[in-house]
Amino acid sequence: MAVNQPMEARRQIPRMVTYPTLMLGLFFLVPFAFMVVVSFWQRIEGAESGYAPGFEFTHYARFFSPLFTRHLLVSLEFASLSAFMSVLVAFPFTYFLSRFGRRPQVLTLVFVLCVLSLSEVIVAYSWSVLLSRTAGISNLFVFLGIMEKPSSWIPSYGAVLFALTYFNLPFATLIMYPQCTRLEKSLTEAALTLGASPVKTFFTVVVPLLWPTIFTAFIVLFVFTMGAFITPQWLGRPQHWMYAILINNQANIRGNVPFASALSIFLMVFTLTLVAITVRLGRRGLQR
């Protein structure tokens, strides 16, 4: 019987996964496919759904207007910088965390999970408070005598970048945590016994060994940040708006659903292409 099972499984979708197949198919894959189809449909102003079947490339042709390419580049810049910065901070943090004693480690993990679960709405809101004139940290600096009078630091480029990095920190920590705990202590101990300084050990043993994890974390955060919606809207100026805001504007405000679909697909293809290129470069870097 044990020999037959895989054969049967190959022939048809087994009963065990009929339900997952239906759920993922009907509520994830089909909607996605539908979006791809609609991106070629005609836009009809005034109609209830705003579109009708057709086949045209008009929506795709519109990308190449400077407005959309500029916002795509803005998204790219914010996503890669904030993913980079959060990995830069989170990696040493996660590595040290995995070397904590049991109790502080569990407590820190609970804390990180709490921060992780914060909605983008709440994170953006709390940073808008923190960087505001009336309730922000500038008041603390005035109190300490560093600044003369409190000032507002939003909206600004730095605020968006900082908040996005903050939002990514707990994700980065949790992605890298498993591999960090699995790094064998004997390896670092060997380096230390052979006379390498702790700093040197960190850069010549720990970082190269965990490079694939660091890299994965960067990619995942990059993809997620490409879809940031609230942070750039609240903490930035219109020129800092990222792609998701444009998609929302087209779909929910202007009612141009086919164009919004085309934008989404373009965003996806663009993101995945970049990911593929980066992964290839990263592998080459690893072999070297």
**Is 30 among the residues that bind another protein (CB under 8 A)?**
yes
- The residue (of 3 and 288) whose beta carbon lies closer to another protein is 3
**Is 67 among the residues that bind another protein (CB under 8 A)?**
no
| d(C-alpha 236, C-alpha 229), whole Å | 11
- The residue (of 17 and 281) whose beta carbon lies closer to another protein is 17
What residues numbered 178-217 form the site for another protein, per CB under 8 A? 178, 181-182, 184, 197-199
**Is 276 among the residues that bind another protein (CB under 8 A)?**
no
Q: Which stretch binds another protein (CB under 8 A): 4-12, 63-71, 153-161, 207-215?
A: 4-12
Tell me how far, at minimum, the Cβ of 216 lies from another protein, in Å.
11
Q: Which stretch binds another protein (CB under 8 A): 63-71, 203-211, 228-236, 278-286?
A: 228-236
Q: Which stretch binds another protein (CB under 8 A): 29-37, 59-67, 151-159, 208-216?
A: 29-37
| d(C-alpha 137, C-alpha 154), whole Å | 12
Cis amide bond preceding 155, omega within 30:
yes
- Interface map 121-160 toward another protein (x if CB under 8 A): xxx-xxx-xx-x-xxxx-x---------------------
**Is 63 among the residues that bind another protein (CB under 8 A)?**
no
Contacts of 149 (CB under 8 A, 6+ apart): 142
Backbone angles phi, psi at 257, to 5 degrees: -65, -45
What residues numbered 79-108 form the site for another protein, per CB under 8 A? 89-90, 92-93, 96-98, 102, 105-106, 108
Tell me if residue 51 falls in helix, strand or coil. strand
Which one of residues 76, 83, 210, 267 is an interface residue with another protein (CB under 8 A)?
Answer: 267
- Residue 94, token pair as written in the block: 């996660």
Contact 188, 201 (CB under 8 A): yes
Tell me how far, at minimum, the Cβ of 23 lies from another protein, in Å.
5
**Residue that is written with structure tokens 């004693």 in the block:** 101
Contact 226, 274 (CB under 8 A): no
**Is 256 among the residues that bind another protein (CB under 8 A)?**
no
What residues numbered 32-51 form the site for another protein, per CB under 8 A? 32, 34-35, 38, 49
**Is 119 among the residues that bind another protein (CB under 8 A)?**
yes
Nearest to 236 by CA among 171, 135, 164: 164
**Is 235 among the residues that bind another protein (CB under 8 A)?**
no
| d(C-alpha 207, C-alpha 219), whole Å | 17
Helices (H), 134-228: 137-144, 157-182, 185-193, 198-201, 207-226
Tell me how far, at minimum, the Cβ of 60 lies from another protein, in Å.
16
- Residue 233, token pair as written in the block: 């809207």
| d(C-alpha 280, C-alpha 262), whole Å | 27
Q: How many residues does the chain have?
A: 288
Which one of residues 67, 73, 111, 208 is an interface residue with another protein (CB under 8 A)?
Answer: 111
- Residue 49, token pair as written in the block: 């759904």
